[in-house]
């Protein structure tokens, strides 16, 4: 495809880096330093100019573009970009916004603003956080096959019962597949005698109950499911959506907000949440409210530094897991190195969502693993598929070693894939694959 990206900030640059090897990519930005840098670092054409101007868009070749992605940090600019593109091109348009009101308007009329697909940074970040709640030790969770299948990534600590045991010993679950181990920056496909080490991140695919059971075996001391006590610090848009989504799942979180008016508004809008007006860095308050007894704390304040401070305080008080919203993507690894359990970058989340959307092609659903090192894909098998009418052990022999069949659903029923399982046309197959082989295997599936 020919893809035009307007906005070369963290989101736009990340998308460009993900797409430049497989697509013809043009990036537009008003900052000449950014465009010059991209011309040297990526295989893209960078154009300097105002992305809302017809002349700039024409210079970028939007008339021949298949897709235009508006990814600046300004919602209104992104909306105008898409509207302008629709006036001069038939390209598919994607807009990134932060304000959920724009998303609600677009959802009521999918052609509103001249936008074909809209992603909301704050909502996506909240959904990313909520997916790991209730699954001890989980770092990432994605649903497939209408929620009948889950992919989850778990981090194994030294004290975990599954540390220093083989996959064969850890695999006590009928509806679970060990898809991969992420170890020291590399992706390994495990076998029965592969030993799980402390620090490994284990990727599993299975039914939600089996994933939940595995979570209990990874971290038996943490409370699973809705028994998990969650504290949210900060009534920001992300904090609000985390609380709202948790309420919908049956949780009763606590939320700490310093501003009086905002706290009152949140209390009205979140009937299932206990809203407390206070400064979350007040140690006396935190101890008085037994915040240290929480299983998980989400730091969703308006600055990275405050979120780091709150997360470290929570860990010191005894909170089992901390999740910090980190606006500066480059800080994620640093924050996790100094004590934050999970760092969530809204910009990285939205960049991955847009990249995922562009990658889907013939796939029903796609999840990116470990910043695009691997992918989990859901496909519907047709008559021409290499999988159709054959036992899995026969078909995978013709696929790269880095491909693992993780789950099958047939007419709404879950099937655990085994070597002699025969895949039928119409089945939905969820598989794991290293990113470098995805383009090669996609036509075969």
Q: Are residues 197 and 210 in the same domain?
A: yes
Could you say which of 150, 185, 218 is where a domain stops? 218
Same domain, yes or no: 239 and 333: yes
Same domain, 29 and 139: no
Kindly state whether residues 312 and 372 are assigned to the same domain.
no
> Same structural domain for residues 134 and 168?
yes
The answer to whether 441 touches 410, Cβ cutoff 8 Å, is: no
Which domain does 59 fall in, by range?
2-115
Residue-level pLDDT at 344? 94
Determine, yes or no, domain membership for 364. Answer: yes
Within a domain: 223: no
Do 383 and 317 share a structural domain? no
Task: Say if residue 60 is in the same domain as residue 95.
Answer: yes
Residue 440 confidence (pLDDT):
85
Indicate whether 290 belongs to any domain. Answer: yes
Residues 391 and 423 both lie in one domain: yes
In a domain, 54, yes or no: yes
Would 225 be classed as within a structural domain? no
| pTM (2 d.p.) | 0.87
State both tokens at 253. Answer: 């979180």
**Domain membership flag for residue 121:** no
| Bridge-based pairing state of the strands 186-188 and 176-183 | antiparallel
Residue 266 placed within a domain: yes
Closest C-alpha to 240, from 260, 256, 261: 256
Identify the pLDDT of residue 224. Answer: 65
Instruction: Assess contact for 115 and 79: CB atoms under 8 A.
Output: yes
Is there a single domain that holds both residue 344 and residue 368? no
Rounded Cα gap, residues 129 and 139, in angstroms: 9
395 shares a domain with 379: yes
What contacts 24+ positions apart, CB below 8 Å, involve 262-268?
262/235, 263/235, 266/235, 266/240
Task: Show which of 163, 188, 218 is a domain's final residue.
Answer: 218
CA distance 338 to 211: 28
Query: Are residues 25 and 102 part of one domain?
Result: yes
- Please report, for residues 200, 206, 211, the alpha-carbon distance to residue 152 in angstroms, rounded to integers and kept in the order given: 13, 9, 7
pLDDT value for 372: 73
Domains identified in the chain, total number: 4
Give the pLDDT confidence score for residue 226 in this predicted structure.
66
Separation between Cα atoms, residue 395 and residue 385, nearest integer Å: 10
Tokens of 51: 């992305």
Position 368 scores a pLDDT of 83
Question: Residue for token digits 């599993």?
Answer: 204
pLDDT at 439: 81
Q: Residues with Cβ < 8 Å from 433, sequence gap 6 or more?
A: 374, 375, 376, 377, 400, 402, 403, 404, 441
Question: What's the CATH code of the domain at 372?
Answer: 3.30.70.1450
The answer to whether residue 224 is domain-embedded is no
Mark which of 350, 366, 392 sits at the end of a domain.
Answer: 350
Do 248 and 343 belong to one domain?
yes
Q: What is the CATH number of the domain that holds 72?
A: 3.40.50.720
Q: Which of 299, 353, 359 is nearest to 331 (CA)?
A: 299
Please give the average pLDDT of every successive group of 10 residues along the chain, which has 445 residues: 94 90 92 93 94 96 95 96 95 94 89 89 95 88 92 93 94 92 91 94 95 91 75 96 96 96 97 96 92 94 95 94 93 93 92 79 78 86 92 92 94 93 95 88 86
């Amino acid at each position: 495809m020919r893809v035009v990206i307007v906005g070369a900030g963290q989101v736009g640059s990340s998308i460009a880096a993900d797409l430049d090897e497989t697509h013809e990519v043009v990036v537009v930005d008003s900052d000449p330093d950014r465009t010059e840098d991209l011309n040297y670092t990526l295989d893209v054409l960078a154009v300097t100019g105002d992305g809302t101007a017809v002349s700039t868009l024409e210079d970028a070749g939007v008339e021949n573009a298949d897709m235009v992605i508006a990814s600046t940090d300004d919602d209104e600019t992104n909306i105008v970009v898409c509207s302008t593109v629709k006036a001069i091109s038939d390209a598919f348009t994607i807009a990134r916004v932060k304000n959920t009101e724009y998303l609600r308007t677009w959802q009521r009329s999918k052609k509103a603003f001249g936008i074909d697909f809209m992603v909301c940074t704050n909502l996506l970040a909240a959904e990313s956080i909520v997916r790991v709640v209730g699954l001890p030790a989980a770092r990432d969770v994605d649903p497939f096959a209408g929620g009948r299948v889950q992919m989850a990534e778990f981090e194994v600590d030294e004290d975990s019962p599954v540390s220093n045991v083989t996959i064969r010993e850890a695999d006590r679950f009928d509806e679970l597949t060990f898809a991969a181990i992420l170890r020291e920056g590399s992706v390994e496909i495990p076998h029965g005698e592969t030993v799980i080490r402390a620090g490994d991140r284990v990727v599993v695919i299975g039914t939600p109950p089996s994933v939940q059971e595995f979570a209990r075996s990874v971290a038996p001391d943490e409370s699973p499911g809705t028994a998990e006590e969650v504290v949210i610090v900060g009534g920001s848009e992300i904090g609000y959506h985390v609380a709202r989504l948790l309420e919908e799942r049956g949780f009763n979180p606590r939320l700490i907000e310093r501003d009086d008016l905002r706290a009152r508004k949140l209390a009205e809008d979140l009937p299932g949440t206990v809203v407390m007006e206070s400064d979350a860095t007040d140690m006396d308050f935190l101890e008085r409210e037994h915040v240290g007894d929480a299983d998980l704390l989400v730091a969703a304040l308006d600055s990275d530094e405050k979120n780091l401070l709150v997360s470290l305080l929570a860990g010191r008080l005894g909170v089992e897991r901390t999740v910090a919203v980190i606006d500066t993507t480059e800080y994620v690894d640093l924050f996790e190195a100094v004590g934050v359990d999970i760092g969530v970058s809204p910009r990285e989340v939205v960049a991955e969502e847009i990249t995922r959307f562009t990658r889907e092609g013939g796939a029903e659903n796609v999840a990116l693993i470990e910043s695009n090192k691997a992918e989990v894909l859901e496909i519907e098998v047709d008559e021409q598929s290499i999988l159709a009418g054959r036992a899995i052990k026969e078909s995978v022999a013709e696929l790269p070693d880095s491909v693992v069949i993780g789950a099958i659903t047939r007419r709404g029923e879950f099937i655990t894939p085994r070597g002699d399982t025969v895949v039928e046309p119409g089945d939905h197959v969820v598989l794991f694959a290293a990113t470098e082989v995805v383009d090669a295997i996609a036509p075969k599936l």
